[in-house]
């Protein structure tokens, strides 16, 4: 089907799902639910519906899957994903094998104290475990550089206050007040009533701390819409290092994401599946997702599931980077001599 048709069908399925939840007095904890997106296509008439089923168990009864497939159409991409959770810190997990002899950073390196600051390294609010530095940005009208990551990484899921210390590495990786790199500057609040569009926050980098936006794989200065991406995507994260994947769905609405303070619903999200195993794991929250070849910014990683991806792995969820930058009134910083492209 064409993209406009897919969007209309997605809206119909979401209305049906919400009606069912209301009639069943769903507790809203993300169990036994359904959310819907669109499967990418290289053809203008090749879009399909992505239907995701949530629940507590490792597997979903086939009857529910068949019912979802009947609603979405014979070619619908129906998957059981279990629970979706914000990716708090987890154990170190090896990333993809290095490609073509490139000198890619390892999780062990990314969990160390790193100066100048680089994308992919461990970071967190002083009272949070650890997440990942996604990018460096500048606010409109402000010359100082800011670190971009998630609200739940830099602002402790709305519990933090402007001015709170931000550490690199994060506390889970041994960071202390001596590892301060800046202060919480702004966070987009999370709305328990939803829907939310982004999980994002910024830390103002201290004057005595330097940054290197071009480290590892060159600067990221431009943004691409997820529905225009046809290549593989990649990320550098604190826990799994460098991994590669593909966008398995975009414009995903109604994603129920579990945080320590409750379940928050997200609309217009990107879903990514790994191509060589896990794409992300706990502690990778805040990673910047880019296209593999030209390093265009795609999304800000924030959540994932334990199942639903290839080979029994989970799937990853990201906020579209354009939406993140709009919400923060920020532009990407490419470092000296680089001028960020407009969105």
What is the DSSP annotation of 27-94? -SSSTT-EEEEEE--SSTT--EEEEEEE-SSSS--HHHHHHHHHHH-TT-EEEEEE-EEE--------
Nearest CA among 152, 161, 248 for reference residue 199: 152
Q: In the chain, what percentage of residues exceed pLDDT 70?
A: 89
pTM: 0.92
Residue 30 has pLDDT above 60, yes or no: no
What is the pLDDT of the chain when averaged over all its residues?
Answer: 90
Instruction: Record the tokens describing residue 209, joined without a space.
Output: 């701390």
Tokens of 115: 């100066």
Report the alpha-carbon distance of residue 83 to residue 1 in Å, rounded: 29
Alpha helices in 119-217 (DSSP H): 151-154
CA angle 47, 48, 50 (to 5 degrees): 135
Q: What is the topology classification, in CATH, of domain 91-248+278-343?
A: Thrombin, subunit H (2.40.10)
pLDDT of 17 > 90? The answer is: no
pLDDT category, 334, cuts 50, 70, 90? confident
- Rounded Cα–Cα distance for residues 191 and 32 (Å): 21
Does residue 63 surpass a pLDDT of 80?
A: no
Is residue 328 within 8 Å of 200, Cβ to Cβ? yes
- Among the residue ranges 109-118, 120-129, 216-225, the one predicted with the least confidence is 216-225
User: Burial level of 22, CB count in 10 A (0-12/13-18/19+)?
Assistant: exposed
- Between the CA of residue 224 and those of 15, 20, 262, 294, 341, what are the distances in Å? 29, 35, 31, 11, 11
Listed residue (58, 199, 29) closest to 131, CA to CA = 199
Q: Count of alpha carbons within 13 Å of 77, Cβ hemisphere only?
A: 20
Q: How confident is the model at residue 16 (pLDDT cuts 50, 70, 90)?
A: confident
- pLDDT exceeds cutoff 90 at 341: no
What is the arithmetic mean of pLDDT over 65-78? 84
CA distances from residue 303 to 27, 41, 90 in whole angstroms, order as listed: 21, 24, 13
Residue 309 tokens read as 């991806």
Rounded Cα distance between 111 and 275, Å, is 24
pLDDT tens by residue, 187-235: 999 999 989 999 999 999 999 999 999 998 889 999 999 999 989 999 9
67 or 265, greater pLDDT: 265
Q: State the sign of the Cα–Cα–Cα–Cα dihedral 184, 187, 193, 198.
A: negative
Q: Determine which helix (DSSP H) or strand (DSSP E) holds 112, and give its type and residue range.
A: none
**Which residues make Cβ contacts (< 8 Å) with residue 142, sequence separation at least 6?**
none
Q: Give the model's confidence band at 88: pLDDT under 50 very low, under 70 low, under 90 confident, else very high.
A: confident
Count the Cβ atoms, other than its own, within 10 Å of residue 138.
16
Task: Note the pLDDT of residue 29.
Answer: 52
């Amino acid at each position: 089907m064409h993209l406009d048709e897919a969007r209309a069908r997605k809206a119909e399925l979401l209305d049906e799902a919400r009606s069912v939840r209301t009639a069943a007095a769903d507790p809203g904890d993300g169990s036994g639910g359904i959310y819907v997106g669109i499967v990418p296509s290289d053809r203008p008439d090749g879009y399909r519906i992505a239907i995701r089923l949530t629940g507590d168990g490792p597997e979903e009864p086939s009857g529910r899957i068949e019912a979802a497939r009947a609603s979405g159409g014979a070619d619908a991409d129906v998957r059981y994903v279990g629970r979706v959770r914000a990716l708090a810190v987890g154990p170190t997990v090896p990333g993809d094998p290095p490609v073509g002899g490139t000198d890619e950073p390892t999780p062990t390196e990314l969990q160390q104290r790193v100066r100048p600051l680089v994308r992919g390294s461990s970071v967190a609010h002083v009272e949070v475990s650890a997440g990942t530095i996604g990018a460096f940005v500048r606010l409109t009208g402000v010359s100082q550089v800011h670190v971009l990551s998630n609200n739940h990484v830099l602002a402790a899921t709305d519990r933090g206050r402007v001015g709170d210390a931000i550490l690199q590495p994060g506390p889970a990786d041994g960071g202390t007040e001596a590892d301060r790199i800046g202060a919480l500057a702004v966070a987009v609040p999370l709305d328990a009533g939803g829907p939310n569009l982004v999980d994002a926050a910024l830390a103002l980098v201290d004057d005595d701390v330097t940054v290197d936006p071009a480290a590892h794989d060159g600067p990221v200065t431009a943004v691409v819409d997820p529905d225009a991406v046809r290549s593989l995507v990649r990320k550098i994260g604190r826990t799994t290092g460098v991994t590669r994947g593909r966008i398995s769905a975009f414009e995903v609405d109604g994603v129920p994401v579990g945080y320590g303070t409750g379940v928050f619903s997200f609309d217009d999200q990107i879903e990514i599946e790994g191509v060589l195993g896990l794409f992300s794991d706990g502690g990778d929250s805040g990673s910047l997702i880019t296209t593999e070849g030209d390093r265009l910014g795609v999304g800000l990683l924030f959540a994932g599931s334990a199942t639903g991806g290839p080979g029994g792995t989970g799937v990853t969820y990201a906020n579209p980077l354009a939406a993140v930058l709009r919400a923060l009134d920020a532009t990407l910083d490419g470092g000296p001599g680089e001028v960020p492209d407009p969105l």
